[in-house]
Amino acid sequence: MWGGKLRLPPTSDPGSLTMRERIGRTGGELRRLAHDRGLLLVLVVVVALVATFVVFPLFQVFRESIFPRGQFDATHFVRFFQGAPFLITPFFNSLILGGLVALTGTVVGFTFAFAIARANVPGSRVFRWIATLPMISPPFIMALAAILLLGNRGMITQVIHNVFGVRWSIYGLPGLVLTQTLAYFPVAFMALEGVLRAIDRSTEEAAFDLGASKLRTFVKVTLPLAAPGIGAALLLLFVISLGDFGNPIVIGGRFQVLTVQAYLAITGRYNMPLGATLAILLLVPTALVFIVQRYWLSRRSHVTVTGRPTPSTAHASGPLLRWVLFGVLCFLSGVILLFYGMVVYGAFTHLWGVNHALTMDNFRYVFSVGRRYFMNTVQLAAIATPIGGILGILIAFLVTRKRFPGRKTLDFLSMMNFAVPGIVVGIGYLLAFNAPPLRLTGTAAIILAVFVFQRMPVAIRDGAAMLQQVDAAIDESASDLGAGFMRTFGRIVLPLVAPAMFSGMAYMFATCVTSISAVVMVVSARWQLMTVALLNDVDNAQLSRAAAWGVVIIAVVLAAIFVLDVLVSRLLSRRGSHGR
């Protein structure tokens, strides 16, 4: 009994319920929905939003690929299975690139994570900051830096040509593997650092006590315990690489991948059915990997946190290995800083490859001619960030704390855009909102919708993690005392998760400002963004101006993170003073 109401314990295995019990349970959930009109209204609005801005665009991509102009026509799919080069080549190139980047990115990420979390290398804080630096800049900044260093007129290219008379091309698969690895290994690092820190050191102590060497302990104990994180990192980097658009279009050269070919099919050939078909070919492996990842992780259990005391002394590495790892991290960090340093230097040059004299003209251009791009980006990201953050928390609250028919379906559909490559999202929005009754093409609203619903899955997962730390009895007590859903959510839930929500919003703002793959399909002459301007300048060989855009984007993201961090600190300090 609680507050005069009988609460039945939740069934641990819904599949064991009989048909009558399921019907009775569903009926009880519907009665609770009818009783709480606030919850019912919110649920209807959320379902309508997810259906309109997540499901409907993807449906339109499928429809256009098979029913162009309203008539059944699977010509492009037939050609794909017949081995047409313009379809087969980009498909397998994308898989090859994704596999290589997943491998190299996970190796680099694991090296950083192991050195910082288990080997306690000197300067761990600095190395952690450098490892996360690529997450606050557009991913294709690395491609721009690679061109400045290793392109036809790159600094290293010119030196090697003058000294050894040798030339090579960074464009193509080697350049893509290099730039995508540097751009996306932080994803693997963030996942693996947490996994390695969570491993109970007593397991390694037991291996040492039994006479195992450090190498044998690493291979037989540490790596198997870290296997879920390694597998998740591999699959995640594979999906991210498949969906990357910025790096391939900047430095891909003649190495065709699905994202670029889908974009060119629509913007260059004006062949929407072909673009939709390429989008579906891209969507299939990413969706399969996403499903395999969730299934694989749910089926494996590597329990390392037992509640027993953990030894405070680390024996994961000796002095020799610690200094070897320190040297490796110094090299990798040097490469990352060199790439970013070249972008900063290039931003102050007149014309890269021709005149390297220092100037401020590129920044004058950014804040004069390009001022509208700057203002559009900051304004739209600032609007989308709180909307996406609050909506993500709201959906997380619904799917974790409330029971209603279709709860798991809503959870799955709201997370769908996490597995969908950005270019597919962009094509879907272009098809879905280009005609009445909801014509958004050419407006700021379509860019806002892309920002909100493409980044919302991260907010949902963060929100679910936050809510797991809050006792459900708190909001249940409010409901028992007569508070409706909106009052409970606004007065109880949001204040409790506000600090973590603001931290998540910093990430969301950063990803909105640096977004390119989806928004490139929906921007218009009136609503252009900084990342698109950067991409256009690279395409027009205005590398110095493109570098200036990159510096400005990074500065905007850093400023936003600093402001939100100050807000979180003040909120926590105010809460602490109230607690005292």
DSSP string spanning 381-443? Answer: HHHHHHHHHHHHHHHHHHHHH---TTHHHHHHHHTHHHHS-HHHHHHHHHHHTSSTTS--TTS
Give the whole-angstrom CA distance, residue 108 versus residue 114: 10
Secondary structure string (H, E, C) spanning 437-505: CCCCCCCHHHHHHHHHHHHHHHHHHHHHHHHHCCCHHHHHHHHHCCCCHHHHHHHHHHHHHHHHHHHHH
Sequence-separated (6 or more) residues with CB below 8 Å from residue 230: 106, 110, 192, 195, 223
Structural domain boundaries enclosing 430: 26-53+348-580
Sequence-separated (6 or more) residues with CB below 8 Å from residue 155: 148, 149, 342
CB 513 within 8 A of CB 135: no
Q: What is the pLDDT along the chain (580 residues), one digit of tens a residue?
A: 344 443 434 444 455 556 655 555 565 555 666 666 777 888 899 999 999 999 999 999 999 999 988 888 889 999 999 888 989 999 999 999 999 999 999 999 999 999 998 888 899 999 999 998 898 888 889 999 999 999 888 888 888 877 877 777 789 999 999 999 999 999 999 888 888 887 767 676 676 667 666 767 777 777 788 887 888 888 889 989 999 999 999 999 899 999 999 999 998 888 999 999 999 999 888 888 877 766 665 555 444 444 444 444 444 556 788 889 999 999 999 999 999 999 999 999 998 888 889 999 999 999 998 899 999 999 999 999 999 988 988 898 888 877 778 888 888 888 888 778 899 999 999 999 998 888 999 999 999 999 999 888 888 877 777 777 666 666 666 666 666 667 777 777 777 777 667 777 888 898 899 999 899 999 988 899 999 999 999 988 899 999 999 999 999 998 888 887 777 677 666 655 555 5
Rg (CA), the chain: 26
Give a yes or no: residue 2 inside a domain: no
CB 391 within 8 A of CB 376: no
Give a yes or no: residue 301 inside a domain: no
CB 181 within 8 A of CB 104: yes
Residues 529 and 577 in one domain: yes
pLDDT in the model for residue 474: 65
Residue where a domain terminates, one of 310, 326, 344:
344
Burial classification of residue 23, based on how many CB atoms lie within 10 Å of its CB (0-12 exposed, 13-18 middle, 19 or more buried): exposed
Residue 489's CB is within 10 A of a number of other CB atoms, namely 22
pLDDT in the model for residue 308: 46
Longest dimension (CA), the chain: 87
Closest CA to 274 of 521, 64, 520, 518: 64
Give the whole-angstrom CA distance, residue 111 versus residue 71: 53
| pTM score, whole prediction | 0.84
Give a yes or no: residue 58 inside a domain: no
Residues 47 and 117 in one domain: no
Give a yes or no: residue 1 inside a domain: no
Cα dihedral across residues 462, 508, 293, 396: positive or negative: positive
Closest CA to 54 of 532, 410, 478: 410
Residues 112 and 213 in one domain: yes
Give a yes or no: residue 89 inside a domain: no
Which helix (H) or strand (E) segment holds residue 579: the answer is helix 543-579
CATH number at residue 494: 1.10.3720.10
Residues 368 and 326 in one domain: no
The Cα-based distances of 162 to 156, 159, 167, 189, 444 in angstroms read: 10, 5, 10, 38, 49
Give the whole-angstrom CA distance, residue 275 versus residue 261: 8
Residues 153 and 48 in one domain: no
Q: What secondary structure letter does DSSP report for 2? A: B
Residues 332 and 418 in one domain: no
Residues 394 and 338 in one domain: no
Residues 172 and 191 in one domain: yes
Give the whole-angstrom CA distance, residue 375 versus residue 344: 22
Task: Give me the number of domains the chain comprises.
Answer: 2
The alpha-helical segments, DSSP class H, found in 300-370 are 319-347, 361-366
Residues 418 and 334 in one domain: no
Residues 367 and 328 in one domain: no
Give a yes or no: residue 78 inside a domain: no
Give a yes or no: residue 488 inside a domain: yes
Residues 352 and 209 in one domain: no
Residues 332 and 364 in one domain: no
Q: Which two tokens stand for residue 566?
A: 């100050």
Sequence-separated (6 or more) residues with CB below 8 Å from residue 403: 29, 32
pLDDT in the model for residue 158: 84
Give the whole-angstrom CA distance, residue 240 versus residue 141: 16
The alpha-helical segments, DSSP class H, found in 82-152 are 85-117, 124-132, 141-150
pLDDT in the model for residue 575: 55
Give a yes or no: residue 287 inside a domain: no
Burial classification of residue 538, based on how many CB atoms lie within 10 Å of its CB (0-12 exposed, 13-18 middle, 19 or more buried): buried
